[in-house]
Homo-oligomer: A and B are copies of this chain.
Amino acid sequence: MSIETLKAEVARRFGTPAVVVDLDVVERNIARVQALCDAAGIANRPHIKTHKSPVIAAMQRKAGARGITCQKLGEAEVMADAGHDDILIAYNLLGEQKIDRLGALLSRVDVAVAADNPVVVQGLPRAAKIAGRDLEVLVECDTGRKRAGVATVAEAIALAKDIAERPGLSFAGFMFYPPEKSAAETQAFLDAARAGVREAGLEPRIVSTGGTPNLVNLGKIDGVTEHRAGTSVFNDRMMLAAGVASLDDCALTVYATVVSRAEADRGILDSGSKTLTSDTGGGLDGYGLILEHPQARIARFAEEHGFLDLSACNDRPNIGDVVRIIPNHVCVVVNMVDRLVTVRSGEIVGELPVAARGHLT
Protein backbone atom coordinates (compact mmCIF):
# COMPACT_ATOMS: atom_id res chain seq x y z
CA MET A 1 0.00 0.00 0.00
CA SER A 2 1.43 3.43 -0.87
CA ILE A 3 1.79 5.94 1.92
CA GLU A 4 -0.96 8.08 0.36
CA THR A 5 -3.31 5.10 0.34
CA LEU A 6 -2.38 4.27 3.93
CA LYS A 7 -3.05 7.84 5.05
CA ALA A 8 -6.43 7.84 3.33
CA GLU A 9 -7.28 4.47 4.86
CA VAL A 10 -6.33 5.59 8.39
CA ALA A 11 -8.45 8.74 7.97
CA ARG A 12 -11.37 6.73 6.57
CA ARG A 13 -11.34 4.09 9.31
CA PHE A 14 -10.31 6.09 12.38
CA GLY A 15 -10.58 9.76 11.48
CA THR A 16 -7.83 12.19 12.39
CA PRO A 17 -5.95 12.88 14.52
CA ALA A 18 -4.78 9.27 14.78
CA VAL A 19 -1.67 8.05 16.54
CA VAL A 20 -0.09 5.43 14.31
CA VAL A 21 2.71 3.00 15.16
CA ASP A 22 4.69 1.04 12.59
CA LEU A 23 5.34 -2.34 14.21
CA ASP A 24 8.10 -3.17 11.72
CA VAL A 25 10.06 -0.17 12.98
CA VAL A 26 9.22 -1.05 16.59
CA GLU A 27 10.69 -4.51 16.11
CA ARG A 28 13.85 -3.09 14.57
CA ASN A 29 14.20 -0.63 17.44
CA ILE A 30 13.70 -3.36 20.03
CA ALA A 31 16.27 -5.58 18.34
CA ARG A 32 18.82 -2.77 18.12
CA VAL A 33 18.57 -1.89 21.82
CA GLN A 34 18.80 -5.55 22.80
CA ALA A 35 21.88 -5.98 20.59
CA LEU A 36 23.53 -2.93 22.18
CA CYS A 37 22.87 -4.30 25.66
CA ASP A 38 24.03 -7.79 24.69
CA ALA A 39 27.23 -6.42 23.16
CA ALA A 40 27.99 -4.54 26.39
CA GLY A 41 27.09 -7.54 28.56
CA ILE A 42 24.41 -5.49 30.30
CA ALA A 43 20.87 -6.65 31.03
CA ASN A 44 18.09 -4.79 29.20
CA ARG A 45 15.22 -3.54 31.35
CA PRO A 46 13.20 -1.30 29.00
CA HIS A 47 11.08 1.46 30.49
CA ILE A 48 7.44 0.93 29.56
CA LYS A 49 6.41 4.56 30.26
CA THR A 50 6.88 5.19 26.54
CA HIS A 51 4.38 2.64 25.22
CA LYS A 52 2.33 1.65 28.30
CA SER A 53 1.45 -1.53 26.43
CA PRO A 54 1.84 -5.06 27.85
CA VAL A 55 1.91 -6.30 24.24
CA ILE A 56 4.94 -4.21 23.33
CA ALA A 57 6.53 -5.10 26.66
CA ALA A 58 6.10 -8.75 25.68
CA MET A 59 7.85 -8.05 22.37
CA GLN A 60 10.73 -6.54 24.35
CA ARG A 61 10.88 -9.53 26.68
CA LYS A 62 10.77 -11.96 23.79
CA ALA A 63 13.73 -10.13 22.24
CA GLY A 64 15.72 -10.73 25.41
CA ALA A 65 14.86 -8.06 27.98
CA ARG A 66 15.57 -9.21 31.53
CA GLY A 67 12.56 -7.41 32.99
CA ILE A 68 10.77 -4.10 32.69
CA THR A 69 10.86 -0.68 34.31
CA CYS A 70 7.77 1.30 35.32
CA GLN A 71 7.47 4.84 36.65
CA LYS A 72 4.09 4.39 38.30
CA LEU A 73 2.74 1.74 40.61
CA GLY A 74 -0.40 1.74 38.46
CA GLU A 75 1.67 0.93 35.39
CA ALA A 76 3.29 -1.97 37.22
CA GLU A 77 -0.12 -3.29 38.29
CA VAL A 78 -1.33 -3.26 34.67
CA MET A 79 1.83 -5.03 33.51
CA ALA A 80 1.51 -7.65 36.28
CA ASP A 81 -2.15 -8.21 35.39
CA ALA A 82 -0.96 -8.97 31.85
CA GLY A 83 1.50 -11.57 33.11
CA HIS A 84 4.69 -9.52 33.35
CA ASP A 85 7.09 -10.23 36.21
CA ASP A 86 10.46 -8.81 37.33
CA ILE A 87 9.43 -5.17 37.50
CA LEU A 88 11.48 -2.23 38.70
CA ILE A 89 9.41 0.76 39.81
CA ALA A 90 11.98 3.53 39.39
CA TYR A 91 10.22 5.93 41.73
CA ASN A 92 9.85 7.06 45.34
CA LEU A 93 6.61 5.42 46.49
CA LEU A 94 5.07 7.18 49.44
CA GLY A 95 1.78 7.09 51.32
CA GLU A 96 -0.35 4.38 52.86
CA GLN A 97 -2.51 3.86 49.77
CA LYS A 98 0.49 3.16 47.55
CA ILE A 99 2.34 1.05 50.11
CA ASP A 100 -0.67 -1.20 50.54
CA ARG A 101 -0.90 -1.63 46.77
CA LEU A 102 2.84 -2.25 46.56
CA GLY A 103 2.47 -4.99 49.15
CA ALA A 104 -0.31 -6.62 47.14
CA LEU A 105 1.80 -6.38 43.97
CA LEU A 106 4.87 -7.84 45.68
CA SER A 107 2.82 -10.79 46.86
CA ARG A 108 2.26 -11.86 43.26
CA VAL A 109 5.29 -10.71 41.20
CA ASP A 110 8.97 -9.88 41.67
CA VAL A 111 9.14 -6.13 42.11
CA ALA A 112 11.91 -3.77 43.19
CA VAL A 113 11.60 -0.06 43.94
CA ALA A 114 13.89 2.95 44.05
CA ALA A 115 14.25 5.40 46.93
CA ASP A 116 16.27 8.57 47.38
CA ASN A 117 15.42 9.54 50.93
CA PRO A 118 14.81 8.04 54.40
CA VAL A 119 11.15 9.09 54.55
CA VAL A 120 10.40 6.86 51.58
CA VAL A 121 12.53 4.01 52.96
CA GLN A 122 10.75 4.22 56.30
CA GLY A 123 7.40 3.54 54.66
CA LEU A 124 8.46 0.49 52.62
CA PRO A 125 8.66 -2.28 55.29
CA ARG A 126 4.87 -2.23 55.49
CA ALA A 127 4.73 -3.44 51.86
CA ALA A 128 7.12 -6.30 52.63
CA LYS A 129 5.04 -7.24 55.65
CA ILE A 130 1.82 -7.30 53.60
CA ALA A 131 3.51 -9.46 50.94
CA GLY A 132 5.21 -11.76 53.43
CA ARG A 133 8.49 -11.46 51.53
CA ASP A 134 11.45 -9.11 51.22
CA LEU A 135 11.27 -6.02 49.04
CA GLU A 136 14.36 -5.08 47.06
CA VAL A 137 15.21 -1.40 47.17
CA LEU A 138 17.69 0.49 44.97
CA VAL A 139 19.24 3.75 46.08
CA GLU A 140 18.63 6.38 43.41
CA CYS A 141 21.71 8.56 42.88
CA ASP A 142 22.06 11.84 41.01
CA THR A 143 25.26 12.61 39.15
CA GLY A 144 24.40 15.96 37.65
CA ARG A 145 20.93 15.85 36.13
CA LYS A 146 19.37 17.40 39.27
CA ARG A 147 16.33 15.20 39.07
CA ALA A 148 15.59 12.57 41.68
CA GLY A 149 18.47 10.89 43.48
CA VAL A 150 20.68 11.52 46.49
CA ALA A 151 23.16 14.27 45.74
CA THR A 152 26.17 12.84 47.61
CA VAL A 153 28.00 9.54 48.03
CA ALA A 154 27.66 9.82 51.80
CA GLU A 155 23.88 9.98 51.50
CA ALA A 156 23.88 7.01 49.14
CA ILE A 157 25.86 4.92 51.61
CA ALA A 158 23.73 6.00 54.55
CA LEU A 159 20.53 5.20 52.66
CA ALA A 160 21.84 1.76 51.64
CA LYS A 161 22.57 0.98 55.27
CA ASP A 162 19.18 2.31 56.32
CA ILE A 163 17.51 -0.01 53.80
CA ALA A 164 19.56 -3.02 54.89
CA GLU A 165 18.68 -2.46 58.53
CA ARG A 166 14.93 -2.26 58.04
CA PRO A 167 12.87 -5.42 58.48
CA GLY A 168 11.70 -6.84 55.18
CA LEU A 169 13.88 -4.61 53.01
CA SER A 170 16.88 -5.74 51.01
CA PHE A 171 19.48 -3.35 49.61
CA ALA A 172 19.55 -4.20 45.90
CA GLY A 173 22.00 -1.68 44.50
CA PHE A 174 22.24 1.75 42.89
CA MET A 175 20.13 3.42 40.23
CA PHE A 176 21.46 6.25 38.05
CA TYR A 177 20.11 8.37 35.23
CA PRO A 178 23.47 9.81 34.20
CA PRO A 179 23.76 12.96 32.11
CA GLU A 180 25.02 11.86 28.72
CA LYS A 181 28.53 13.25 29.23
CA SER A 182 29.00 12.26 32.85
CA ALA A 183 30.49 8.76 32.59
CA ALA A 184 33.52 9.80 34.65
CA GLU A 185 31.44 11.47 37.37
CA THR A 186 29.04 8.56 37.51
CA GLN A 187 31.92 6.08 37.66
CA ALA A 188 33.51 7.99 40.53
CA PHE A 189 30.17 8.16 42.41
CA LEU A 190 29.51 4.47 41.87
CA ASP A 191 33.00 3.39 42.89
CA ALA A 192 32.91 5.43 46.09
CA ALA A 193 29.37 4.38 46.97
CA ARG A 194 30.16 0.71 46.31
CA ALA A 195 33.29 0.89 48.44
CA GLY A 196 31.26 2.51 51.19
CA VAL A 197 28.52 -0.08 51.28
CA ARG A 198 31.05 -2.93 51.07
CA GLU A 199 32.57 -1.62 54.29
CA ALA A 200 29.16 -2.25 55.80
CA GLY A 201 29.06 -5.75 54.32
CA LEU A 202 26.63 -4.82 51.54
CA GLU A 203 26.98 -5.57 47.85
CA PRO A 204 25.11 -3.78 45.05
CA ARG A 205 23.66 -6.69 43.05
CA ILE A 206 22.11 -4.24 40.58
CA VAL A 207 23.67 -1.11 39.12
CA SER A 208 21.14 0.43 36.78
CA THR A 209 21.57 3.24 34.26
CA GLY A 210 18.87 4.87 32.16
CA GLY A 211 18.01 6.86 29.08
CA THR A 212 17.86 6.30 25.33
CA PRO A 213 20.69 8.77 24.58
CA ASN A 214 22.84 6.79 27.02
CA LEU A 215 22.57 3.64 24.90
CA VAL A 216 25.63 4.86 23.04
CA ASN A 217 27.46 5.02 26.39
CA LEU A 218 26.81 1.40 27.40
CA GLY A 219 30.02 -0.14 28.65
CA LYS A 220 31.65 3.17 29.55
CA ILE A 221 30.78 2.82 33.22
CA ASP A 222 32.35 -0.21 34.86
CA GLY A 223 30.06 -2.20 37.09
CA VAL A 224 26.73 -1.37 35.45
CA THR A 225 24.53 -4.47 35.35
CA GLU A 226 21.42 -3.24 33.57
CA HIS A 227 20.01 -0.38 31.53
CA ARG A 228 16.59 1.27 31.32
CA ALA A 229 15.72 2.88 27.98
CA GLY A 230 12.20 3.99 27.13
CA THR A 231 11.95 6.31 24.14
CA SER A 232 14.09 4.07 21.91
CA VAL A 233 11.12 1.82 21.22
CA PHE A 234 9.41 4.57 19.19
CA ASN A 235 11.89 7.50 19.02
CA ASP A 236 10.83 11.10 18.42
CA ARG A 237 12.00 14.56 17.45
CA MET A 238 14.07 14.85 20.64
CA MET A 239 15.98 11.70 19.71
CA LEU A 240 16.46 13.02 16.17
CA ALA A 241 17.85 16.24 17.62
CA ALA A 242 20.12 14.29 19.96
CA GLY A 243 21.49 12.37 16.97
CA VAL A 244 20.56 8.98 18.40
CA ALA A 245 17.80 8.18 15.89
CA SER A 246 17.13 8.73 12.21
CA LEU A 247 13.80 9.34 10.53
CA ASP A 248 13.66 5.63 9.68
CA ASP A 249 13.86 4.82 13.39
CA CYS A 250 10.75 6.86 14.25
CA ALA A 251 7.98 4.31 14.72
CA LEU A 252 5.20 6.64 15.81
CA THR A 253 3.58 9.44 13.83
CA VAL A 254 0.45 11.46 14.43
CA TYR A 255 -1.77 11.59 11.36
CA ALA A 256 -3.51 14.95 11.15
CA THR A 257 -5.70 16.76 8.64
CA VAL A 258 -5.22 20.32 7.43
CA VAL A 259 -8.59 21.91 8.27
CA SER A 260 -7.99 25.58 7.50
CA ARG A 261 -5.76 27.85 5.40
CA ALA A 262 -7.03 31.31 6.34
CA GLU A 263 -4.04 33.09 4.80
CA ALA A 264 -1.18 32.15 2.48
CA ASP A 265 1.33 31.77 5.31
CA ARG A 266 -1.05 30.13 7.75
CA GLY A 267 -2.62 26.71 8.13
CA ILE A 268 -4.35 24.75 10.87
CA LEU A 269 -4.03 21.07 11.75
CA ASP A 270 -6.71 19.19 13.67
CA SER A 271 -4.07 18.31 16.27
CA GLY A 272 -3.42 20.68 19.13
CA SER A 273 -2.17 20.55 22.69
CA LYS A 274 -4.66 17.81 23.58
CA THR A 275 -3.00 15.51 21.04
CA LEU A 276 0.63 16.54 20.46
CA THR A 277 1.03 18.17 23.92
CA SER A 278 2.89 21.41 24.64
CA ASP A 279 6.12 19.54 25.38
CA THR A 280 8.95 21.45 23.72
CA GLY A 281 11.28 18.45 23.87
CA GLY A 282 13.82 20.49 25.76
CA GLY A 283 13.66 23.61 23.63
CA LEU A 284 12.98 22.40 20.09
CA ASP A 285 11.60 24.93 17.62
CA GLY A 286 7.90 24.23 17.15
CA TYR A 287 5.78 21.29 18.26
CA GLY A 288 6.61 18.54 15.81
CA LEU A 289 8.09 17.65 12.45
CA ILE A 290 5.63 17.34 9.55
CA LEU A 291 7.13 14.69 7.28
CA GLU A 292 5.39 15.98 4.15
CA HIS A 293 6.28 19.62 4.87
CA PRO A 294 9.45 19.75 6.96
CA GLN A 295 9.67 23.52 6.41
CA ALA A 296 6.27 24.06 8.01
CA ARG A 297 6.49 25.12 11.62
CA ILE A 298 3.87 24.01 14.16
CA ALA A 299 4.17 27.39 15.80
CA ARG A 300 1.52 27.31 18.51
CA PHE A 301 -1.50 25.43 19.75
CA ALA A 302 -5.05 25.70 20.80
CA GLU A 303 -6.43 22.58 22.39
CA GLU A 304 -7.60 21.06 19.10
CA HIS A 305 -5.74 23.33 16.67
CA GLY A 306 -2.13 23.19 15.55
CA PHE A 307 -1.30 26.58 14.03
CA LEU A 308 1.14 26.35 11.15
CA ASP A 309 3.58 28.98 10.02
CA LEU A 310 4.06 28.17 6.33
CA SER A 311 6.19 31.19 5.46
CA ALA A 312 9.31 29.05 4.88
CA CYS A 313 7.50 26.44 2.75
CA ASN A 314 8.00 26.04 -0.97
CA ASP A 315 5.25 23.44 -1.09
CA ARG A 316 2.24 24.29 1.07
CA PRO A 317 -0.41 21.85 2.25
CA ASN A 318 -4.01 22.15 1.09
CA ILE A 319 -7.15 21.90 3.15
CA GLY A 320 -8.05 18.23 3.42
CA ASP A 321 -4.48 16.97 3.17
CA VAL A 322 -3.53 14.32 5.69
CA VAL A 323 0.00 14.75 7.04
CA ARG A 324 2.21 12.73 9.40
CA ILE A 325 3.88 14.39 12.37
CA ILE A 326 6.82 13.16 14.41
CA PRO A 327 6.07 14.58 17.86
CA ASN A 328 8.67 16.35 19.99
CA HIS A 329 8.29 13.85 22.82
CA VAL A 330 6.65 10.55 22.02
CA CYS A 331 6.12 9.35 25.62
CA VAL A 332 3.69 12.14 26.47
CA VAL A 333 1.80 11.77 23.16
CA VAL A 334 1.15 8.05 23.72
CA ASN A 335 -0.20 9.04 27.13
CA MET A 336 -2.91 11.17 25.45
CA VAL A 337 -4.66 8.32 23.69
CA ASP A 338 -6.45 5.12 24.62
CA ARG A 339 -5.40 3.22 21.50
CA LEU A 340 -2.61 3.24 18.94
CA VAL A 341 -3.35 2.35 15.33
CA THR A 342 -0.81 -0.28 14.25
CA VAL A 343 0.60 -0.82 10.78
CA ARG A 344 2.93 -3.39 9.24
CA SER A 345 4.41 -3.32 5.75
CA GLY A 346 2.41 -0.18 5.11
CA GLU A 347 -0.96 -1.75 5.94
CA ILE A 348 -3.22 -1.24 8.93
CA VAL A 349 -3.15 -4.32 11.12
CA GLY A 350 -5.20 -3.23 14.10
CA GLU A 351 -5.34 -1.18 17.27
CA LEU A 352 -3.30 -1.56 20.41
CA PRO A 353 -4.69 -0.38 23.76
CA VAL A 354 -2.46 1.96 25.77
CA ALA A 355 -3.43 -0.20 28.70
CA ALA A 356 -1.46 1.56 31.42
CA ARG A 357 -2.61 5.06 30.46
CA GLY A 358 -4.85 6.85 32.93
CA HIS A 359 -3.27 5.18 35.96
CA LEU A 360 -2.29 8.45 37.57
CA THR A 361 -1.06 6.84 40.76
Q: Which A residues contact B (CB, under 8 angstroms)?
A: 11-19, 49, 71-73, 91-92, 94-98, 101, 116-117, 119-120, 142, 146-151, 257, 259-263, 266, 268, 270, 273-275, 277-280, 302-305, 307, 318-320, 331-332, 335-338, 358, 360-361
Contacts and interface: CB of A to CB of B under 8 A. Distances in A.
Given A277-B278, A280-B278, A303 B16 contact: no
Given A14-B97, A94-B320, A116-B260, A331 B360 contact: no
A359 B338 CA distance: 9
Nearest to A334: B274
Which 6 A-B pairs give the minimum distances between C-beta atoms? A15-B361, A92-B259, A119-B319, A278-B278, A15-B97, A338-B358
B303 A331 contact: yes
B259 A120 contact: yes
A92 B306 CA distance: 13
Contacts of A116: 260, 262
B16 A95 contact: yes
Nearest to A149: B262
Nearest to A11: B95
A97 B10 CA distance: 10
Interface centre among A11, A101, A261 (most CB of B within 10 A): A11
A129 B148 CA distance: 58
12 contacts: A11-B96, A14-B97, A15-B98, A72-B304, A95-B257, A117-B260, A119-B319, A120-B319, A146-B266, A148-B260, A278-B279, A337-B360
Nearest to A358: B338
Nearest to A361: B15
A328 to B, nearest CB: 9
A96 to B, nearest CB: 6
B268 A279 contact: no
Contacts of A279: 273, 278
B94 A257 contact: yes
A150 B120 contact: no
A68 to B, nearest CB: 16
Given A259-B92, A335-B274, A305 B147 contact: yes
Contacts of A151: 262-263
A228 to B, nearest CB: 13
A319 B117 contact: yes
Contacts of A361: 14-18
A317 to B, nearest CB: 12
A361 B149 CA distance: 40
Nearest to A322: B95
Contacts of A259: 91-92, 94, 120, 148
Contacts of A142: 262
Contacts of A71: 303-304
